[in-house]
Amino acid sequence: MNLAKRVSTLTPSSTLAITAKAKELKEQGHDVIGLGAGEPDFNTPQYIIDAAVRSMEEGHTKYTPSAGLPKLKQAIIGKFETDQNISYTPGEILVGSGAKHVLYTLFQAILDAGDEVIIPTPYWVSYPEQVKLAEGNPVYIEGLESNEFKVTAEQLEQAITSKTKAFILNSPSNPTGSMYSDDELRQLGEVCIKHNILIVSDEIYEKLVYDGATHTSIAQLSNELKEQTIVVNGVSKSHSMTGWRIGYAAGNTEIIKAMTNLASHSTSNPTTTAQYGTIAAYTEDDGSVETMREAFEGRLNRVFEKLISIPGVSCVKPKGAFYLFPNVSEAVKLNGFADVDAWVEAILEEEKVALVPGSGFGAPDNVRLSYATSLDALEEALTRIERFVRTHTK
């Protein structure tokens, strides 16, 4: 049987591929340190678990409205009012089965065949694949390492054509941890308003920011920008709820209605129990979110200097998320490998450290290291990587 063309063009996830290889080595008895994780290594806070259990005991185990429980929508609206000073109505909110599913639904709702979506590189691996699944065309603009991997308004202007439908903004970024300043956001926003380009603002890492940095949503900078933006967020990273699969979108009522209609024919509704847990996440607070953020910041500050002391490795220090995205091209040359992918594979085979090659993020000179793991494991992993580099330097 022939498969649909839409799936034949998909690129397998580099993150999942390296994770599978690391798992295989672990099952063979090897001491593997995996730095590919895209999720916090903490359990979901207990007050959220308790709320979810309570909801099941109270009989809340049936279907909900496709766009989410009204009470959860109100909790999300309250979160926007508190954190960003933005006001939304329930009709401007869609709750989905994770932020990834929300993004997928959004692109299905707004893109026709041949529509273009501008994606800065480095990018999260699923952006281009989701655009292609909606029969759209990804258009890449390079975020230069010299500019902390951020793109400029001038670059955005030059990339826009008559087919451009949307621009994806991810701040803090996966994989780089970079964040845009208010001025940078305004300049990008002005270009989008000028050309009537929808801004897709992925803010899933907004709570994980460091060194005194504060997160700004582009939607909070002006009413015009709010109307031009679909904000995508969720509780996966902030509240260590990756497996609960709750994300949401906020923005234009017409787009949200279309997404809701599509969701009604795909998932019916987000998991009911997870919605009740998310209500607790946004209406109660036991300090767990800040505790996790502080732990990530402590790990970052502890291992960053050790990372950049490895021969041939340089790195822009991230301001958010929980990834390091070093440039290892010089180390690869020192070690005599053809490319970063081969270097990463050799490190996994020889030193049993799993890194994610940057080629999957549109940045072939880099690798992604997650510091969502224990400090001991991080330090041991960097020791092994340094040993590998020094051993293989020609």
Question: Chunked in runs of 10, what are the mean pLDDT values of the chain (394 residues)?
Answer: 84 73 89 91 97 98 98 98 98 98 98 98 96 97 98 98 98 98 98 98 98 96 98 98 98 98 97 98 95 97 97 98 98 97 95 95 97 96 98 91
Count of Cβ atoms closer than 10 Å to residue 4 Cβ: 8
Nearest to 18 by CA among 370, 268, 319, 256: 370
- Contact in structure between 313 and 327 (CB atoms under 8 Å): yes
The amino acid at residue 195 is H
- Contact in structure between 269 and 245 (CB atoms under 8 Å): no
The amino acid at residue 336 is G
Q: What are the φ/ψ torsions at residue 318 (nearest 5 degrees)?
A: -70, 155
> What's the chain's Rg over C-alpha atoms?
21
pLDDT at position 5: 86
> From its phi and psi, is residue 176 left (phi > 0), alpha (psi between -120 and 50) or beta?
alpha
Q: What is the DSSP letter of 166?
A: E
Task: Please write down the long-range contacts of 305-309, taking CB distance under 8 Å and 24 or more positions apart.
Answer: 306/379, 306/382, 306/386, 307/369, 307/382, 309/386
**Residue 326 Cα distances to 70, 206, 340, angstroms:** 43, 22, 11
The amino acid at residue 385 is I
pLDDT at position 79: 98
pTM, two decimals, is 0.96
pLDDT at position 258: 98
pLDDT at position 37: 80
Q: What are the φ/ψ torsions at residue 41 (nearest 5 degrees)?
A: -95, 15
C-alpha span between 250 and 255 (Å, rounded): 10
Nearest to 230 by CA among 133, 324, 138, 165: 165
Q: Which residues contact 287 (CB under 8 A, 6 or more apart)?
A: none
pLDDT at position 11: 78
- Per DSSP (E only), the strands in the chain are 33-34, 93-96, 116-121, 137-142, 164-170, 198-202, 229-234, 247-250, 323-324, 353-354, 356-357, 367-370
Count of Cβ atoms closer than 10 Å to residue 221 Cβ: 18
- b/e sequence 139-148, b meaning 16+ C-beta within 10 Å: bbbebebeeb
